[in-house]
Protein backbone atom coordinates (compact mmCIF):
# COMPACT_ATOMS: atom_id res chain seq x y z
CA UNK A 1 0.00 0.00 0.00
CA UNK A 2 2.76 2.43 0.97
CA UNK A 3 4.52 1.97 -2.35
CA UNK A 4 1.34 2.62 -4.39
CA UNK A 5 0.56 5.65 -2.22
CA UNK A 6 4.07 7.01 -2.82
CA UNK A 7 3.87 6.22 -6.53
CA UNK A 8 0.52 8.03 -6.76
CA UNK A 9 1.85 11.05 -4.87
CA UNK A 10 4.77 11.35 -7.23
CA UNK A 11 2.63 10.87 -10.39
CA UNK A 12 0.17 13.52 -9.17
CA UNK A 13 3.08 15.85 -8.43
CA UNK A 14 4.35 15.41 -11.99
CA UNK A 15 0.96 15.86 -13.65
CA UNK A 16 -0.22 18.86 -11.64
CA UNK A 17 0.99 22.17 -13.09
CA UNK A 18 4.22 23.38 -11.43
CA UNK A 19 3.75 26.01 -8.71
CA UNK A 20 5.87 28.59 -10.55
CA UNK A 21 3.85 28.36 -13.79
CA UNK A 22 1.28 31.16 -14.32
CA UNK A 23 -1.28 31.54 -12.86
CA UNK A 24 0.96 30.65 -9.92
CA UNK A 25 -1.54 31.14 -7.11
CA UNK A 26 -4.12 28.85 -8.76
CA UNK A 27 -1.51 26.18 -9.46
CA UNK A 28 -0.20 26.42 -5.90
CA UNK A 29 -3.76 26.02 -4.58
CA UNK A 30 -4.36 22.99 -6.84
CA UNK A 31 -1.21 21.34 -5.48
CA UNK A 32 -2.24 22.25 -1.92
CA UNK A 33 -5.60 20.52 -2.40
CA UNK A 34 -4.21 17.33 -3.94
CA UNK A 35 -0.74 16.64 -2.53
CA UNK A 36 0.46 15.62 0.90
CA UNK A 37 -2.67 14.02 2.31
CA UNK A 38 -5.42 11.53 1.76
CA UNK A 39 -5.39 7.78 1.97
CA UNK A 40 -5.45 7.33 -1.82
CA UNK A 41 -8.08 4.59 -1.47
CA UNK A 42 -9.28 5.01 -5.06
CA UNK A 43 -5.77 4.75 -6.61
CA UNK A 44 -5.08 1.74 -4.36
CA UNK A 45 -8.23 0.03 -5.62
CA UNK A 46 -7.38 0.89 -9.22
CA UNK A 47 -3.87 -0.54 -8.98
CA UNK A 48 -4.96 -3.66 -7.08
CA UNK A 49 -7.61 -4.42 -9.71
CA UNK A 50 -5.19 -3.59 -12.52
CA UNK A 51 -2.74 -6.12 -11.14
CA UNK A 52 -5.43 -8.80 -11.52
CA UNK A 53 -5.93 -7.68 -15.11
CA UNK A 54 -2.18 -7.67 -15.92
CA UNK A 55 -2.32 -3.94 -16.63
CA UNK A 56 0.88 -1.94 -17.02
CA UNK A 57 1.64 0.16 -13.90
CA UNK A 58 2.15 3.35 -15.94
CA UNK A 59 -1.33 2.94 -17.47
CA UNK A 60 -2.75 2.42 -14.00
CA UNK A 61 -1.01 5.57 -12.75
CA UNK A 62 -2.89 7.67 -15.30
CA UNK A 63 -6.27 6.05 -14.53
CA UNK A 64 -5.72 6.16 -10.75
CA UNK A 65 -4.61 9.81 -10.80
CA UNK A 66 -7.55 10.86 -12.98
CA UNK A 67 -9.97 9.36 -10.42
CA UNK A 68 -8.04 10.91 -7.52
CA UNK A 69 -8.16 14.36 -9.17
CA UNK A 70 -11.95 14.11 -9.46
CA UNK A 71 -12.10 13.03 -5.81
CA UNK A 72 -9.86 15.94 -4.73
CA UNK A 73 -12.00 18.43 -6.67
CA UNK A 74 -15.14 17.07 -4.99
CA UNK A 75 -13.61 17.56 -1.54
CA UNK A 76 -12.60 21.16 -2.31
CA UNK A 77 -16.10 22.03 -3.54
CA UNK A 78 -17.81 20.05 -0.75
CA UNK A 79 -15.90 22.08 1.86
CA UNK A 80 -17.03 25.46 0.46
CA UNK A 81 -19.42 27.58 2.56
CA UNK A 82 -22.14 27.04 -0.08
CA UNK A 83 -22.01 23.29 0.63
CA UNK A 84 -20.61 21.66 3.79
CA UNK A 85 -18.82 24.78 5.00
CA UNK A 86 -15.83 23.09 6.60
CA UNK A 87 -12.52 24.53 7.70
CA UNK A 88 -10.44 21.36 8.14
CA UNK A 89 -9.56 18.67 5.60
CA UNK A 90 -6.77 16.09 5.70
CA UNK A 91 -5.54 17.70 8.91
CA UNK A 92 -5.01 21.14 7.41
CA UNK A 93 -7.13 24.22 6.60
CA UNK A 94 -9.52 23.63 3.70
CA UNK A 95 -8.59 25.12 0.34
CA UNK A 96 -10.92 28.14 0.60
CA UNK A 97 -9.62 28.92 4.10
CA UNK A 98 -5.95 28.68 3.08
CA UNK A 99 -6.58 30.60 -0.17
CA UNK A 100 -10.05 32.11 -0.76
CA UNK A 101 -13.47 31.02 -2.01
CA UNK A 102 -13.13 32.05 -5.67
CA UNK A 103 -9.74 30.30 -5.84
CA UNK A 104 -11.18 27.12 -4.30
CA UNK A 105 -14.02 27.15 -6.82
CA UNK A 106 -11.51 27.43 -9.66
CA UNK A 107 -9.27 24.76 -8.11
CA UNK A 108 -12.16 22.29 -8.26
CA UNK A 109 -12.98 23.25 -11.84
CA UNK A 110 -9.35 22.98 -12.94
CA UNK A 111 -8.79 19.63 -11.18
CA UNK A 112 -11.83 18.19 -12.90
CA UNK A 113 -10.58 19.41 -16.29
CA UNK A 114 -7.11 18.03 -15.55
CA UNK A 115 -8.60 14.60 -14.79
CA UNK A 116 -10.13 14.47 -18.26
CA UNK A 117 -7.01 15.86 -19.93
CA UNK A 118 -4.92 13.19 -18.19
CA UNK A 119 -7.25 10.31 -19.00
CA UNK A 120 -7.48 11.27 -22.67
CA UNK A 121 -3.85 12.34 -23.22
CA UNK A 122 -1.97 9.45 -21.59
CA UNK A 123 -2.43 5.82 -22.62
CA UNK A 124 -4.64 3.83 -20.23
CA UNK A 125 -4.11 0.63 -22.22
CA UNK A 126 -3.25 -0.47 -25.72
CA UNK A 127 -6.69 0.02 -27.27
CA UNK A 128 -7.90 3.52 -28.21
CA UNK A 129 -11.60 2.52 -28.37
CA UNK A 130 -11.40 1.01 -24.87
CA UNK A 131 -9.72 4.19 -23.61
CA UNK A 132 -12.51 6.35 -24.99
CA UNK A 133 -15.02 4.19 -23.15
CA UNK A 134 -12.99 4.53 -19.94
CA UNK A 135 -13.10 8.34 -20.24
CA UNK A 136 -16.86 8.03 -20.73
CA UNK A 137 -17.12 5.87 -17.58
CA UNK A 138 -15.24 8.49 -15.57
CA UNK A 139 -17.49 11.27 -16.88
CA UNK A 140 -20.63 9.30 -16.06
CA UNK A 141 -19.46 8.48 -12.53
CA UNK A 142 -18.53 12.11 -11.89
CA UNK A 143 -21.66 13.80 -13.21
CA UNK A 144 -25.34 14.17 -12.35
CA UNK A 145 -25.99 10.41 -12.71
CA UNK A 146 -23.07 9.77 -10.36
CA UNK A 147 -21.16 11.75 -7.72
CA UNK A 148 -22.63 15.20 -8.44
CA UNK A 149 -26.14 13.70 -8.43
CA UNK A 150 -25.42 12.07 -5.07
CA UNK A 151 -24.18 15.38 -3.71
CA UNK A 152 -27.42 17.07 -4.87
CA UNK A 153 -29.41 14.44 -2.96
CA UNK A 154 -27.17 14.89 0.07
CA UNK A 155 -27.78 18.66 0.11
CA UNK A 156 -31.53 18.17 -0.35
CA UNK A 157 -31.62 15.67 2.54
CA UNK A 158 -30.45 18.16 5.20
CA UNK A 159 -33.10 18.36 7.91
CA UNK A 160 -35.15 15.48 6.50
CA UNK A 161 -35.35 11.79 7.25
CA UNK A 162 -34.61 9.18 4.60
CA UNK A 163 -35.54 5.53 4.36
CA UNK A 164 -32.60 3.06 4.32
CA UNK A 165 -33.28 2.58 0.58
CA UNK A 166 -33.12 6.34 -0.12
CA UNK A 167 -29.95 6.63 1.93
CA UNK A 168 -28.37 3.78 -0.03
CA UNK A 169 -29.38 5.38 -3.34
CA UNK A 170 -27.75 8.67 -2.28
CA UNK A 171 -24.51 7.05 -1.14
CA UNK A 172 -24.19 4.71 -4.13
CA UNK A 173 -24.05 7.89 -6.19
CA UNK A 174 -22.19 10.35 -3.94
CA UNK A 175 -19.39 8.06 -2.76
CA UNK A 176 -19.92 4.75 -4.51
CA UNK A 177 -19.82 5.85 -8.15
CA UNK A 178 -16.21 7.02 -8.08
CA UNK A 179 -15.00 4.05 -6.02
CA UNK A 180 -16.71 1.73 -8.49
CA UNK A 181 -15.03 3.56 -11.37
CA UNK A 182 -11.59 3.23 -9.76
CA UNK A 183 -12.06 -0.56 -9.82
CA UNK A 184 -13.56 -0.69 -13.31
CA UNK A 185 -10.82 1.47 -14.81
CA UNK A 186 -8.17 -0.74 -13.18
CA UNK A 187 -9.83 -3.79 -14.73
CA UNK A 188 -10.15 -2.14 -18.13
CA UNK A 189 -6.50 -0.97 -18.21
CA UNK A 190 -5.50 -4.61 -18.70
CA UNK A 191 -6.69 -7.18 -21.19
CA UNK A 192 -6.62 -10.40 -19.18
CA UNK A 193 -10.10 -10.39 -17.61
CA UNK A 194 -13.23 -11.91 -19.14
CA UNK A 195 -16.61 -10.15 -19.14
CA UNK A 196 -17.72 -12.46 -16.31
CA UNK A 197 -14.69 -11.60 -14.22
CA UNK A 198 -15.25 -7.87 -14.77
CA UNK A 199 -18.88 -8.36 -13.67
CA UNK A 200 -17.65 -9.97 -10.41
CA UNK A 201 -15.32 -7.04 -9.86
CA UNK A 202 -18.12 -4.60 -10.60
CA UNK A 203 -20.24 -6.28 -7.93
CA UNK A 204 -17.30 -6.12 -5.51
CA UNK A 205 -16.82 -2.41 -6.32
CA UNK A 206 -20.46 -1.50 -5.70
CA UNK A 207 -20.42 -3.23 -2.32
CA UNK A 208 -17.02 -1.74 -1.41
CA UNK A 209 -18.27 1.78 -2.25
CA UNK A 210 -21.24 1.42 0.03
CA UNK A 211 -19.11 -0.18 2.75
CA UNK A 212 -16.76 2.82 2.56
CA UNK A 213 -19.66 5.19 3.24
CA UNK A 214 -21.19 3.09 6.04
CA UNK A 215 -17.79 3.13 7.80
CA UNK A 216 -17.50 6.87 7.10
CA UNK A 217 -20.82 7.47 8.88
CA UNK A 218 -19.63 5.43 11.89
CA UNK A 219 -16.34 7.35 12.00
CA UNK A 220 -18.12 10.71 11.76
CA UNK A 221 -20.30 9.86 14.74
CA UNK A 222 -17.70 8.09 16.90
CA UNK A 223 -14.28 9.54 16.19
CA UNK A 224 -12.59 12.85 16.98
CA UNK A 225 -11.56 15.79 14.82
CA UNK A 226 -7.89 15.17 15.68
CA UNK A 227 -8.02 11.57 14.47
CA UNK A 228 -10.15 12.23 11.38
CA UNK A 229 -8.24 15.31 10.22
CA UNK A 230 -11.66 16.78 9.41
CA UNK A 231 -14.48 18.04 11.65
CA UNK A 232 -16.05 15.11 13.52
CA UNK A 233 -19.79 14.96 14.25
CA UNK A 234 -20.48 17.12 11.20
CA UNK A 235 -23.48 15.07 10.02
CA UNK A 236 -25.35 15.39 13.32
CA UNK A 237 -24.42 19.07 13.55
CA UNK A 238 -25.89 19.71 10.11
CA UNK A 239 -28.90 17.50 10.75
CA UNK A 240 -28.05 15.14 7.89
CA UNK A 241 -29.49 11.64 7.71
CA UNK A 242 -26.72 9.01 7.93
CA UNK A 243 -26.64 5.26 8.47
CA UNK A 244 -26.10 5.94 12.16
CA UNK A 245 -29.16 8.21 12.47
CA UNK A 246 -31.35 6.01 10.24
CA UNK A 247 -30.34 2.55 11.52
CA UNK A 248 -28.63 3.27 14.85
CA UNK A 249 -25.01 2.38 15.69
CA UNK A 250 -25.55 -1.33 16.32
CA UNK A 251 -27.37 -2.02 13.06
CA UNK A 252 -24.89 0.16 11.15
CA UNK A 253 -22.01 -1.96 12.50
CA UNK A 254 -23.91 -5.12 11.50
CA UNK A 255 -24.46 -3.66 8.04
CA UNK A 256 -20.73 -2.91 7.71
CA UNK A 257 -19.88 -6.49 8.70
CA UNK A 258 -22.43 -7.86 6.21
CA UNK A 259 -21.08 -5.66 3.38
CA UNK A 260 -17.52 -6.69 4.25
CA UNK A 261 -18.59 -10.37 3.93
CA UNK A 262 -20.31 -9.65 0.60
CA UNK A 263 -17.28 -7.79 -0.76
CA UNK A 264 -14.96 -10.63 0.21
CA UNK A 265 -17.22 -13.25 -1.30
CA UNK A 266 -17.45 -11.31 -4.59
CA UNK A 267 -13.66 -11.77 -4.81
CA UNK A 268 -13.75 -15.53 -4.14
CA UNK A 269 -13.57 -16.51 -7.86
CA UNK A 270 -10.15 -14.83 -8.11
CA UNK A 271 -8.54 -16.92 -5.34
CA UNK A 272 -5.14 -15.70 -4.16
CA UNK A 273 -4.96 -13.20 -7.04
CA UNK A 274 -7.40 -10.96 -5.17
CA UNK A 275 -5.34 -10.75 -1.97
CA UNK A 276 -4.62 -7.04 -2.37
CA UNK A 277 -8.31 -6.26 -2.93
CA UNK A 278 -9.18 -8.36 0.13
CA UNK A 279 -6.62 -6.43 2.16
CA UNK A 280 -8.07 -3.14 0.89
CA UNK A 281 -11.58 -4.26 1.89
CA UNK A 282 -10.32 -4.86 5.42
CA UNK A 283 -8.48 -1.51 5.35
CA UNK A 284 -11.71 0.29 4.41
CA UNK A 285 -13.34 -1.21 7.51
CA UNK A 286 -10.41 -0.86 9.94
CA UNK A 287 -9.35 2.65 8.90
CA UNK A 288 -9.27 5.28 11.62
CA UNK A 289 -9.77 8.31 9.32
C1 LIG B 1 -19.02 18.77 -4.42
C2 LIG B 1 -19.47 17.69 -6.64
C3 LIG B 1 -19.25 17.56 -5.22
C4 LIG B 1 -19.26 16.34 -4.67
C5 LIG B 1 -18.92 16.09 -3.29
C6 LIG B 1 -17.42 13.11 -2.22
C7 LIG B 1 -18.29 14.24 -1.88
C8 LIG B 1 -19.21 14.67 -2.94
C9 LIG B 1 -18.23 14.90 -0.71
C10 LIG B 1 -17.30 14.57 0.36
C11 LIG B 1 -18.01 14.56 1.65
C12 LIG B 1 -17.93 13.26 2.32
C13 LIG B 1 -17.46 13.29 3.72
C14 LIG B 1 -18.26 12.15 1.72
C15 LIG B 1 -18.22 10.87 2.37
C16 LIG B 1 -17.22 9.90 1.88
C17 LIG B 1 -15.99 10.51 1.41
C18 LIG B 1 -15.88 10.73 -0.03
C19 LIG B 1 -15.01 10.78 2.29
C20 LIG B 1 -13.71 11.34 1.92
O21 LIG B 1 -12.98 10.40 1.18
P22 LIG B 1 -11.65 9.75 1.74
O23 LIG B 1 -11.85 9.25 3.14
O24 LIG B 1 -10.72 11.04 1.80
O25 LIG B 1 -11.12 8.78 0.76
P26 LIG B 1 -9.13 11.17 1.69
O27 LIG B 1 -8.84 12.48 2.35
O28 LIG B 1 -8.50 9.99 2.37
O29 LIG B 1 -8.85 11.18 0.22
How far is 186 from 125, CA to CA, in rounded Å?
10
Our answer on whether the CB atom of 67 is closer than 6 Å to any ligand 1 atom is: no
Judging by beta carbons within 10 Å of its beta carbon (0-12, 13-18, 19+), is residue 52 exposed, middle or buried?
Answer: buried
* Atom number of ligand 1 nearest to Cα 234: 13
State the chain's mean pLDDT as an integer: 96
Residue 173 is classified by DSSP as: I
pLDDT in tens, 139-181: 999 999 999 999 999 999 999 999 999 999 999 999 999 999 9
Our answer on whether the CB atom of 78 is closer than 6 Å to any ligand 1 atom is: yes
Our answer on whether the CB atom of 90 is closer than 6 Å to any ligand 1 atom is: yes
How far is 247 from 167, CA to CA, in rounded Å?
10
Domains and CATH numbers, the chain: 2-282 (1.10.600.10)
Query: What is the residue with the minimal CA distance to atom 4 of ligand 1?
Result: 74
Q: What are 88's strand-pairing partners? A: 93
The answer to whether the CB of 17 falls within 8 A of the CB of 67 is no
Q: How large is the average pLDDT for residues 57-82?
A: 98
Instruction: State the number of CA atoms in the 13 A half-sphere of 91 facing the CB.
Output: 9
**Which stretches of the chain are assigned E, i.e. beta strand?**
88-89, 92-93
pLDDT grade, residue 235 (50/70/90)?
confident
Per-residue pLDDT at 234 exceeds 90: no
pLDDT grade, residue 28 (50/70/90)?
very high
Per-residue pLDDT at 121 exceeds 90: yes
Please report, for residues 23, 105, 126, 235, the alpha-carbon distance to residue 96 in angstroms, rounded to integers and kept in the order given. 17, 8, 40, 20
Q: 242 alpha carbon to ligand 1 midpoint, in Å? A: 14
Our answer on whether the CB atom of 52 is closer than 6 Å to any ligand 1 atom is: no
Our answer on whether the CB atom of 213 is closer than 6 Å to any ligand 1 atom is: yes
Amino acid sequence: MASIQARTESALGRWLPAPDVAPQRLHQAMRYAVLGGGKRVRPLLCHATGELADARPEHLDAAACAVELIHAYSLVHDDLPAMDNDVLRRGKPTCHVEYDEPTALLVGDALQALAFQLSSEHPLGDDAAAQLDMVRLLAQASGSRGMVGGQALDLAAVGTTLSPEELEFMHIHKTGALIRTAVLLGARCGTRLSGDQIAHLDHFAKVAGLLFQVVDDLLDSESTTATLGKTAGKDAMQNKPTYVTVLGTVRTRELAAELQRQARSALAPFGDGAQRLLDLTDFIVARKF
